[in-house]
Amino acid sequence: MIDIHSHILPGVDDGAHSEQDAINMAKLAVEEGITKIIATPHHQNGKYRNNKQDILKRVDELNHLFQKEKIPLEVLPGQETRIYGELLEDFEKGDILPLNQTNYLFIELPSGHVPRYTEKLLFDIQMKGLTPIIVHPERNAEVMENPDLLLNLVKKGSLTQVTAGSVTGHFGKNIQRFSMKLIEANLTHFISSDAHNISTRSFKMVESISKIEKEFGSQAVYYFQENAELLTQGQVVYRQEPSKIRQKKFLGLF
Ligand code: FE
């Protein structure tokens, strides 16, 4: 299994602090059946800056460490890039790192809202030949209130990634219910851990997969796993026609 979102790179953000933390995370990842993991440190989210060249170097070092420790986990380079006005200028400068150096780029929205320039920037990103993947939309307050915002962005070419812990209820019932709605409405294309540590923000991949299998069948599990694989290879991923989430009924559940 491939996990495309993690904070396993030590000492660069609020994920693993030390090499030992990274080793502990790697061992747990292997136990969950993960063979490849994309390290996606935060970039430009207010607190952390992790430029492309720095990440590439550190991912090499981490792979050497895991080889030395005989941990069968391959780390691939990536970045969790917060949306900001100069993102494309910085891409031109070489600071931005798409996932495994493909054309798929993680985009993180602020947790409370969707900035007004989002649609335009996601369009411009695609004009550069990149495919934006909006990370954990299920945890964005404005998207939860108005899922049509996300439907519009997906219809216009963006992909999305839901966090495994959201599916399992780790972030609460509302986020769990909304995550299931997103899957049902074909509004998400990837499930990944966004693991930060082995305690409070762990992988939950196995648990999320069994939940998805139970609710949506093995086809859905296959779809998400295949997409992670295709992404790391830089190939075109599967998309299914997205549909509208019935907002009234959804809000009634709160
Ligand atoms: Fe993250």
How much distance in Å is there from the Cα of 130 to the middle of ligand 1? 19
E-assigned strand segments in 78-226: 80-82, 104-108, 131-135, 159-163, 190-192
Whole-angstrom Cα distance, residue 4 to residue 66?
A: 18
Residue by residue, pLDDT tens for the chain (254 residues) are 999 999 999 999 999 999 999 999 999 999 999 999 999 999 998 899 999 999 999 999 999 999 999 999 999 999 999 999 999 999 999 999 999 999 999 999 998 999 999 999 999 999 999 999 999 999 999 999 999 999 999 999 999 999 999 999 999 999 999 999 999 999 999 999 999 999 999 999 999 999 999 999 999 999 999 999 999 999 999 999 999 997 555 555 54
Dihedral, 24, 226, 155, 42 alpha carbons, nearest 10 = 20
Q: Which domains does the chain show, CATH number per domain?
A: 2-252 (3.20.20.140)
Cα 25 to middle of ligand 1, angstroms: 15
Query: What is the Å distance from ligand 1's center to 7 Cα?
Result: 6
How close is the Cα of 200 to the center of ligand 1, in Å?
A: 14
Q: Measure the CA–CA gap between 60 and 99, rounded to whole angstroms.
A: 15
Ligand 1 geometric centre to CA of 123 (Å):
22
CA distances from 121 to 79, 114, 153, 221 (A): 18, 12, 11, 31
Distance 6 CA to ligand 1 centre (A): 6
- Predicted model pTM: 0.96
State both tokens at 32. Answer: 């969950």
CA of 240 to the centre of ligand 1 (A): 25
| Identity of the residue numbered 217 | G
Ligand 1 centre from 207 Cα, in Å?
19
Distance CA 157, CA 107 (A): 13
Cα separation, 243 vs 148, in Å, equals: 9
Q: How many C-beta atoms surround the C-beta of residue 128 within 10 A?
A: 11
Select from 238, 245, 163 the least CA-distant residue to 204: 163
Instruction: Tokens for 94, please give them.
Output: 């070489």
Rounded-to-integer distance, Cα 89 and Cα 91, Å: 5
Residue 195 φ then ψ, to 5°: -65, 135
Residue 154 CA to ligand 1 center (angstroms) comes to 20
Give 100's DSSP letter. Answer: G
CA of 39 to the centre of ligand 1 (A): 9
Q: Are 207 and 31 in contact (CB under 8 A)?
A: no
Ligand 1 centroid–CA 192 distance in Å is 10
Q: From ligand 1's centre to the CA of 135, what distance in Å?
A: 8
Cα of 184 vs centre of ligand 1, distance in Å, is: 23
Distances in whole angstroms, Cα of residue 114 to Cα of each of 78, 110, 121, 182, 194: 23, 7, 12, 17, 20
Separation of CA 193 and ligand 1 centre (Å): 8
Cα(82) to ligand 1 centroid in Å equals 10
Q: What is the pLDDT of residues 136-191, one digit of tens each?
A: 999 999 999 999 999 999 999 999 999 999 999 999 999 999 999 999 999 999 99
Question: Residue 78 C-alpha to ligand 1 middle, in angstroms?
Answer: 11
Q: How far is the CA of 249 from the centre of ligand 1 (A)?
A: 30
Report how far ligand 1's centroid is from the alpha carbon of 80 (Å).
6
Distance CA 5, CA 156 (A): 23
